[in-house]
Amino acid sequence: MSVPSSHRGRYAPSPTGRLHLGNARSALLAWLETRRAGGVFVMRIEDVDHQRSRPEFEERLLTDLRWLGLDWDEGPDVGGAYGPYRQSERDERYAAAIEALDVFPCSCSRRELREEASMGEGDEPIYPGTCAAGPRHPERPLALRWRTPAGIVEVEDRIAGTLRQDVRAEVGDILLRRRDAAWAYQLAVVVDDAAMGITDVVRGADLLMSTPRQVLLHRALDATPPRFAHVPLILGEDGHKLSKRHGAPDLSALREGGIAPERVVALLARSVGLVGPSRTMIQAQELLAEFDLSRIRPVAVDWRSLA
């Protein structure tokens, strides 16, 4: 086998829907950072949530990303030495990781946890330790939680700066397997980043606060955590996070609507200040020469300029 490159980056989409512009931008930036470093780019399909994942979405997102001008050296459709590249095919690895961790069964539903913490829909309640000494309802399907160690975890993010979190106090015992037997994202992402030798993660800032718990899990599994860079969320023309409300089309809709991919790349590049407002057509490749992650800053864009 050839000597592996020292830089390994990845994009790790969940095939639970179509890619929106924010997803496309994370993919583009992760690809640029890896290619600039002469590294290996890995495409990993995060389909642990078997209720929401669909093969059609996987096929569509790979087509969309290629159309945008990205390529990958390892992935579900090209193979590679660290496969399989779909999480649904990596069960044994997650089971082995669980064996190495101090876990306990938990019968609490999300709704119960939310009620106990008197929180609203969408908020993530702090796990109050309900089942730590034995499940409260052992007859129910049981989840698995990690007895998360106390102490402050410090992470140096390349864009967001220093993060500090006492994971035990602010999150509680981390969910590793759900009550429907699906592996939790937090476990699968750590096991796979470690097993695939990922050295550099570039992803959206929505995952920033998951990072301390992931670093803690890496350490507990005797793995070296990757370097992290969280890119600010894409802003609509009103300066708010771009969302469905702005009516922005998804990547497939742009491709199928006959928009040139260079226009989309240019919009994404403008939205992080990589190019000025006058650039309206760029190929992903062209951004490589001058790409510098440290120059990234959020710039509001109007997606209607694509039309």
Q: Does 203 bind ligand GLU (CB under 6 A)?
A: yes
Contact 115, 80 (CB under 8 A): no
Segment 38 to 57, residues that bind ligand GLU, using CB under 6 A: 46
d(CA 44, CA 193): 10
With CA atoms as reference, report the closest residue to 30 among 20, 46, 44. Answer: 44
Q: Which position among 1, 121, 133, 244 bears the catalytic label? A: 244
Q: Does 212 bind ligand GLU (CB under 6 A)?
A: no
244 catalytic residue (yes or no):
yes
Among residues 224 and 285, whose Cβ is nearest to ligand GLU? 224
Q: Does 9 bind ligand GLU (CB under 6 A)?
A: no
Q: Does 13 bind ligand GLU (CB under 6 A)?
A: yes
Contact 249, 257 (CB under 8 A): yes
Member of 7, 8, 14, 62 binding ligand GLU (CB under 6 A)? 14
Q: Does 207 bind ligand GLU (CB under 6 A)?
A: yes
3: helix, strand or coil: coil
d(CA 115, CA 109): 10
SS3 content of the chain, % helix, strand, coil (to 5): 35, 15, 50
Q: Does 117 bind ligand GLU (CB under 6 A)?
A: no
95: helix, strand or coil: helix
Q: What letter represents residue 30's amino acid?
A: A
Segment 162 to 201, residues that bind ligand GLU, using CB under 6 A: 189
Q: Whole-number minimum distance, CB 20 to ligand GLU, in Å? A: 11
Among residues 87 and 107, whose Cβ is nearest to ligand GLU? 87
How many residues of this chain bind ligand GLU (CB under 6 A)?
A: 7
How many other CB atoms are found less than 10 A from the CB of residue 162? 8
Among residues 12 and 293, whose Cβ is nearest to ligand GLU? 12
Member of 9, 12, 225, 291 binding ligand GLU (CB under 6 A)? 12
Q: Whole-number minimum distance, CB 266 to ligand GLU, in Å? A: 24
Interacting stretch for ligand GLU, rule CB under 6 A, among 12-20, 50-58, 235-243, 270-278? 12-20
| Buried b or exposed e, range 166-198, using 16+ CB within 10 angstroms | ebbeebbbbbbbbbeebbbbbbbbbbbbbebbb
Locate 243 and state its tokens: 């969302």
Positions annotated as catalytic residues are 244
Contact set with ligand GLU (CB under 6 A): 12-14, 46, 189, 203, 207
